[in-house]
């Protein structure tokens, strides 16, 4: 696909994500100084592109995003052709290039959050060195997601305290990103004896695209042309969990995102992630979170 320009984007003194064609999306931009939020709603199911590169951090919260075709790239990571990334996040550190194109299956809804806080702000006087923030593509973290939605909700808020609240949220968001960097399990980094990066990418994308289905160990092993024993051992070394448990954990992550949508019942959510019986979904969810889906939903609403 060709590069994209900046014509037609909302007026802003700072660089923001360029969308092409610009009239394919409605955008509502809020500027609170050191942080901005850009609520985007795509209005037509036509191929579009988005791109960004600037000396400011970019966090993308995809509320609704499914595509027939397309790819997404963040500099420093392999490109992804993931077809469904509802309730996913992506993080583009300052200076990194972000680019994507897609032929949408649904009308995309996303929020771009731009952060201009310097990293050194957080180690002043503490004696603790802040880790460099890594690019992240299509991940989910509940704390980051919740803060992003709070910022989205402030767009258009005329309350005089909104600016101060958004500024406070920007500090919280940066601390959460640093926490995520510090606590990323070793399994998420390259491991000697684990799967090479290209095999990890292929397996993860396959699991994401078939999240609501039963996936056999043989199918995953065949995907990267390995024996069952070698694949199971290498997968566990790479991801810190056996394939079945990883798959189930990703289903529960998807359920957490869907539980934030009041219009969906627990039964509907269970069916969306592959559970025929609500009781089975409830047992699995409680095993992973310590709460039933209803309790989790109520807790998030408190």
How far, in Å, CA of 56 to CA of 269, rounded? Answer: 36
Instruction: List the domain boundaries for the chain.
Output: 18-183, 190-240, 248-302
pLDDT score at 108: 95
* Per-10-residue mean pLDDT, the chain, length 302: 40 81 94 91 95 93 92 87 89 92 93 79 51 84 91 87 87 88 55 74 90 92 90 84 88 88 92 93 87 84 60
- Label residue 110 exposed, middle or buried (CB < 10 Å: 0-12, 13-18, 19+): buried
Class of domain 18-183: mainly beta
Helix (H, G, I), strand (E, B) or coil at 269: helix
Residue 130, pLDDT score:
58
- Pairing type for strands 35-42 and 109-115 reads antiparallel
Contact present, 172 and 113 (Cβ < 8 Å): no
Model pLDDT, residue 162? 83
SS3 219: helix
| Residue 14 confidence (pLDDT) | 77
Q: What CATH topology corresponds to 248-302? A: Arc Repressor Mutant, subunit A (1.10.10)
CA distances to 53, 247, 254 from 203, rounded to whole Å, are: 29, 11, 17
∠ Cα 104 108 114 (to 5°): 125
């Amino acid at each position: 696909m060709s590069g994209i320009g900046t014509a037609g984007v909302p007026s802003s003194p700072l660089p923001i994500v360029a969308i092409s064609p610009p009239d394919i999306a409605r955008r509502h931009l809020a500027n609170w100084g050191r942080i901005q939020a850009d609520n985007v709603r795509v209005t037509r199911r036509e191929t579009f592109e988005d791109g960004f590169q600037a000396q400011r951090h970019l966090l993308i919260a995809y509320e609704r995003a499914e595509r027939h075709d397309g790819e997404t790239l963040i500099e420093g990571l392999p490109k992804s052709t993931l077809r469904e990334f509802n309730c996913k996040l992506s993080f583009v550190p300052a200076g990194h290039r972000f680019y994507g194109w897609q032929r949408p299956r649904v009308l995309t809804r996303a929020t771009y959050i731009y952060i201009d806080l310097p990293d050194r702000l957080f180690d002043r006087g503490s004696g603790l060195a802040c880790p460099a923030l890594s690019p992240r593509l299509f991940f989910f973290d509940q704390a980051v997601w919740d803060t992003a939605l709070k910022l989205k909700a402030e767009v258009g808020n005329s309350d005089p305290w909104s600016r101060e609240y958004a500024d406070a949220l920007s500090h919280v968001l940066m601390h959460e990103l640093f926490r995520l960097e510090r606590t990323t399990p070793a399994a998420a980094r390259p491991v000697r004896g684990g799967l090479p990066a290209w095999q990890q990418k292929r397996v993860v994308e396959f699991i994401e695209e078939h999240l609501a289905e039963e996936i056999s160990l043989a199918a995953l092993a065949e995907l990267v042309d390995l024996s069952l024993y070698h694949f199971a051992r290498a997968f566990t070394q790479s991801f810190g969990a056996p394939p079945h448990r990883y798959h189930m954990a990703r289903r529960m992550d998807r359920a957490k995102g869907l539980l934030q949508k009041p219009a969906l019942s627990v039964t509907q959510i269970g069916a969306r992630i592959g559970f025929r019986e609500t009781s089975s979904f409830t047992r699995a969810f409680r095993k992973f979170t310590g709460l039933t889906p209803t309790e989790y939903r109520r807790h998030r609403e408190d």
